[in-house]
Amino acid sequence: MHALTTSPTDPRFAGLPDRPGKIVAVHLSYTSRADQRGRRPAAPSYFLKPSSSVAASGSDIERPAGTELLAFEGEIALVIGTEARRVQLQNAWSYVGWVTAANDFGLYDLRANDRGSNLRSKGGDGFTPIGPDLIDASSVDPSSLRVRTWVNGGLVQEGTTSELLFPLAQIVADLSQHFTLEVGDVILTGTPAGSSVVLPGDVVEVEVDAPYAIGSPRSGRLRTSVVAGARHFDPALGSLPEVDDIQRAEAWGTREAPGAPAPGASALSPDLRARLERVPVAALAQQLRRQGLNTVTIDGVRPMRRGDKLVGVAKTLRFVPGREDLFASHGGGFNAQKKAFDSVGQGEVIVIEARGETGSGTLGDILAIRAHARGAAGVVTDGGVRDYDAIAAVGIPVYAAGAHPAVLGRRHVPWEVDVTIACGGTTVQPGDIVVGDSDGVIVIPPDLAVEVVEAAMRQEEQDAWVAERIAQGHPIDGLFPMNAEWQAKYRAWQADPTTAEEPGNARG
């Protein structure tokens, strides 16, 4: 048994014998998680977390402003009890003093520039809750430990160390051959499948136990509450948060999870785009209604140029109501509005939540030119635009609720990008497919796009056939919608377009 030192006075380390000199975390270790990620490493790999990231049970974790992908990872934490340097596999476990619960939180929005180091994405203050109680490692079998995670009271993760790719003793021995493991150092041993995204207001609990050991020792539940942070990252200091569908899928753990983007959300295939360009928005709306989706139109917006057709993938931008102090902190510099227009990709549509407020512009000609130069498919805003004529001349489809000469700050604060927004009375998520024409703008969930456009094209063909019959003088009754007699004639025409129906008694 290892002697427990006096509990540190800093409350962050209440679940540990002392402040750890280093925290080492394993990338992939559970078979379920490796299979979920589609890769099984041949040997363990690691990254470091700062000790300043440690938090005690009952603490809050902030999801920074302007980010969306804060994910939990319930883990078993090993606390070194005896200094270990080049120890042998067979006795490596004896160097572990205690076992407890940990939550290896990660902010996937910051992974892009970390290149696997995870320093920024997992090193934030409060990103490593540990505790609340320590289990004596000598009293448990390292192959029979269990970790479980709950979100808002529901069990979301459960794994045992019998499922590890690399036994816990191997991890200790392997690390010790590279550097000295000092007393109090913490090893985070990886997470099983089930890790996913949490939102402000969620409560995450993790517990480690040894259900087959004498007395079934347990760590107690490590509780962390997620809160919304108010501060954005400073663009003048370093790279900003950014996400794509790959990061979303990895953060959520599955594309089928609530809130996760559907497959194919990252882009339109050339064929699907071409078909959407040919189909009227009205036909798409009809088919979406048949799917049970009625609130998918962005109401109150009109194309600035008659005849414009808009097809693209949504990139979202959210404005909040104007407030002088918030505009002072978020309205200047490389703010969310400029970030959206400066990072929009080929074929994307910038969709702006402006709450239907038309008392100022939500973009001007310079931003429209920038979006056009980057290959954006268009812009949709339920607010106003300024430099109306100049924007219309740029050549990019823009749908807006009106024109106004005032600048953004009169009514809006640019707040965040690439989040779920409300525009014109409908919800728009990053990756949704956006289609617009003279009738208006509609939002299509990506997983329904192919089915909807195919049905719409079939309906358009049928409607064109019906319209031709109406133009020939046939009465509407029985033809629109078609009764059984006309349906039979339509099927015959489909089989042989040279077939001519007998109009005789059908004429009025």
Spatial neighbors of 385 by CB under 8 A, at least 6 apart, are: 304, 361, 362, 363, 364, 391, 398, 400, 402, 403, 404
List where CATH 3.50.30.40 sits in the chain: 261-450
Per-residue pLDDT for 440 more than 90?
Answer: yes
Smallest Cα–Cα separation from 347: which of 242, 421, 264? 264
Query: What six digits make up the tokens of 250?
Result: 């990895």
Query: What is the rounded CA–CA span in Å between residue 430 and residue 419?
Result: 6
Per-residue pLDDT for 72 more than 50?
Answer: yes
Instruction: Report the amino acid identity of residue 373.
Output: A
Spatial neighbors of 314 by CB under 8 A, at least 6 apart, are: 348, 349, 351, 428, 429, 430, 431, 432, 433, 434, 443
> How far is C-alpha 297 from the chain's CA centre?
22
What topology is assigned to 261-450 in CATH?
A: Glucose Oxidase; domain 1 (3.50.30)
pLDDT of the residue at 507? 41
Q: Is the peptide bond before 129 cis (omega within 30 degrees of 0)?
A: no
Which residues on adjacent β-strands are paired with residue 316? 351
Question: What confidence tens digit (pLDDT) does each residue in 372-412 have?
Answer: 998 999 999 999 999 999 999 999 999 999 999 999 999 99
Per-residue pLDDT for 74 more than 90?
Answer: yes
Coil vs helix vs strand at 134: coil
Per-residue pLDDT for 4 more than 80?
Answer: no
Q: How many residues does the chain have?
A: 508
Q: Which CATH number is 17-229+242-249 given?
A: 3.90.850.10
Is the pTM higher than 0.75? no
Q: Are 317 and 414 in contact (CB under 8 A)?
A: yes
Which residues on adjacent β-strands are paired with residue 106? 71
Least confident of 38-42, 64-68, 285-289, 327-331: 38-42
User: In the structure, what pLDDT confidence band is assigned to residue 261 with cuts at 50, 70 and 90?
Assistant: very low
Mean pLDDT for the stretch of residues 169-175: 97
Per-residue pLDDT for 8 more than 70?
Answer: no
Per-residue pLDDT for 485 more than 60?
Answer: yes
- Would you state the torsion angle of the CA atoms of residues 348, 349, 355, 360, taken in this order, to the nearest 10 degrees? 120
Helix (H) or strand (E) holding 170, with range, is helix 168-176
pLDDT of the residue at 249? 75
Helix (H) or strand (E) holding 493, with range, is helix 484-495
Coil vs helix vs strand at 285: helix
List where CATH 3.90.850.10 sits in the chain: 17-229+242-249
Which residues on adjacent β-strands are paired with residue 59? 224
Mean pLDDT for the stretch of residues 140-166: 93
Highest mean pLDDT among 72-76, 227-231, 337-341, 496-500: 72-76
